[in-house]
């Protein structure tokens, strides 16, 4: 009987209802981050330094234009001096690399990002383009050097990729401590899954990475105290897979047909929200979860880069 009661108490709430998750709002959290950054930028003005960001675009993809527009808007709100340079889709790789190197050398640029994907009629080696950005200005955190530092635990000496760093910020909002927890990451992409593993690991979680070759994803998910999903598959994670009370962070952005919506489609995550909401302790919505955090973390990295420059200037001044 005692065993039965224990079972009930672990899977149900008072009154026999299943638990209902607390929603972790990326909209609210990213607003708090932007407000904090605005104060930090204001403080830097006393030192005559305004953080600056250069967004380099190749071509004119409509989705890229939208993303860049939201970055420019956030930068303006925080007080970052942001410039958007658009090269035509006829540009050669050499011209792109020269533009990057010129921005690397420009001391007035603190953060430099290349909007991906590159939209060009010419061949572009994306790895080469990404790695030509100086690691000291790579506020997207995508260069090999920054990835290497993160993956080996040197977190304070690199730029953390924006989406996983935003996920960490959302996890912090829950008050659930990461150290010692079992975390599961679904996906191993360069911008979400792989760096997410590193961040959780070096915040001392025991981390399992799942991917397309994983045999029993539901079983792995069922062991997660903290679950981060960046799989790119609409609603693949079902509520009944989840450990009761876990933290669910959904990085998915998928468009599914929905006749009731204008445009005939709606956006869903990689997690089946309605069922997961009944079982998780905390969950991010889609949209309004991880998405806005990515842009906020880009702003944070840009401010951090300017602060590092300022700290180096101060150190150089002291040693004169």
Q: Would you name the residues annotated as active-site residues?
A: 71
Q: Is 149 in the site for a copy of itself (CB under 8 A)?
A: yes
Helix (H) or strand (E) holding 227: strand 226-229
Q: Is 144 in the site for a copy of itself (CB under 8 A)?
A: yes
Do the bridges between strand 254-257 and strand 282-283 make them parallel or antiparallel, or are there none, so unpaired? unpaired
How many C-beta neighbours within 10 Å does residue 275 have? 17
Among 1, 5, 156, 215, binds a copy of itself (CB under 8 A): 215
Specify the residue, 63 or 154, whose C-beta has the smaller distance to a copy of itself.
Answer: 154
Please state the closest distance from residue 130 (CB atom) to a copy of itself, in A. Answer: 10
Are the CB atoms for 305 and 139 separated by under 8 Å? yes
The angle, 0 to 180 degrees and rounded to 10, between the axes of the packed helices 193-202 and 144-151 is: 40
Specify the residue, 78 or 194, whose C-beta has the smaller distance to a copy of itself.
Answer: 194
Segment interacting with a copy of itself (CB under 8 A) among 48-56, 152-160, 261-269, 276-284: 152-160
Here's the x/- map for a copy of itself, 46-85, by CB under 8 A: it reads as ----------------------------------------
Specify the residue, 17 or 213, whose C-beta has the smaller distance to a copy of itself.
Answer: 213
Are the CB atoms for 49 and 310 separated by under 8 Å? yes
Q: Is 145 in the site for a copy of itself (CB under 8 A)?
A: yes
Are the CB atoms for 141 and 160 separated by under 8 Å? yes
Segment interacting with a copy of itself (CB under 8 A) among 73-81, 106-114, 148-156, 271-279: 148-156
Segment interacting with a copy of itself (CB under 8 A) among 60-68, 138-146, 165-173, 311-319: 138-146
Q: Is 151 in the site for a copy of itself (CB under 8 A)?
A: yes
Q: Is 88 in the site for a copy of itself (CB under 8 A)?
A: no
Q: How many residues does the chain have?
A: 320
Q: Which of 176, 160, 185 is nearest to 301 (CA)?
A: 160
Widest distance between CA atoms in the chain: 76
Are the CB atoms for 215 and 209 separated by under 8 Å? no
Distance separating alpha carbons of residues 185 and 224, to the nearest angstrom: 9
DSSP secondary structure code for residue 133 in this structure? S
Helix (H) or strand (E) holding 200: helix 193-202
Among 76, 90, 117, 148, binds a copy of itself (CB under 8 A): 148
Specify the residue, 23 or 145, whose C-beta has the smaller distance to a copy of itself.
Answer: 145
Please state the closest distance from residue 222 (CB atom) to a copy of itself, in A. Answer: 12
Q: Which of 320, 302, 318, 317 is nearest to 49 (CA)?
A: 302
The residue count for binding a copy of itself (CB under 8 A) is 33
Q: Is 137 in the site for a copy of itself (CB under 8 A)?
A: no
Site for a copy of itself in 184-203 (CB under 8 A): 188, 190, 194, 198, 201
How many C-beta neighbours within 10 Å does residue 289 have? 29
**Residues found near a copy of itself in the complex (CB under 8 A):** 127, 143-154, 179-180, 182, 188, 190, 194, 198, 201, 204-211, 213-215, 220
């Amino acid at each position: 009987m005692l065993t039965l009661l224990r079972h009930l108490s672990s899977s149900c709430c008072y009154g026999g209802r299943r638990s209902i998750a607390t929603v972790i709002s990326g909209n609210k959290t990213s607003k708090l981050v932007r407000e904090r950054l605005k104060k930090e930028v204001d403080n830097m003005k006393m030192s005559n330094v305004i953080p600056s960001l250069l967004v380099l675009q190749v071509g004119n993809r409509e989705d890229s234009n939208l993303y860049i527009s939201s970055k420019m808007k956030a930068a303006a709100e925080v007080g970052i001096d942001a410039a958007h340079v658009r090269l035509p889709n006829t540009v050669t790789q050499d011209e792109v690399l020269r533009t990057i190197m010129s921005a690397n050398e420009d001391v007035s640029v603190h953060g430099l990002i290349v909007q991906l994907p590159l939209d060009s009629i010419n061949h572009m080696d994306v790895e080469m383009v990404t790695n030509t950005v100086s690691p000291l200005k790579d506020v997207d955190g995508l260069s090999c050097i920054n990835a290497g530092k993160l993956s080996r635990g040197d977190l304070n000496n690199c730029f953390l990729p924006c989406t996983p760093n935003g996920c960490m910020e959302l996890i912090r909002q829950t008050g659930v401590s990461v150290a010692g927890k079992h975390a599961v990451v679904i996906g191993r992409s360069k911008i979400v899954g792989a760096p997410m593993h590193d961040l959780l690991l070096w915040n001392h979680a025991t981390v399992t990475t799942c991917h397309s070759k994983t045999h029993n994803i539901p079983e792995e998910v069922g062991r997660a105290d903290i679950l981060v999903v960046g799989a790119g598959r609409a609603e693949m994670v079902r509520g009944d897979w989840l450990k009761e009370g876990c933290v669910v962070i959904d990085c998915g952005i998928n468009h599914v047909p929905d006749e009731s919506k204008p445009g005939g489609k709606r956006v869903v995550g990689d997690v089946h929200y309605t069922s997961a909401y009944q079982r998780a302790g905390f969950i991010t919505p889609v949209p309004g979860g991880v998405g806005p955090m990515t842009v906020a973390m880009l702003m944070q990295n840009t401010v951090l880069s300017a602060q590092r420059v300022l700290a180096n200037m101060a150190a150089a001044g002291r040693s004169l």
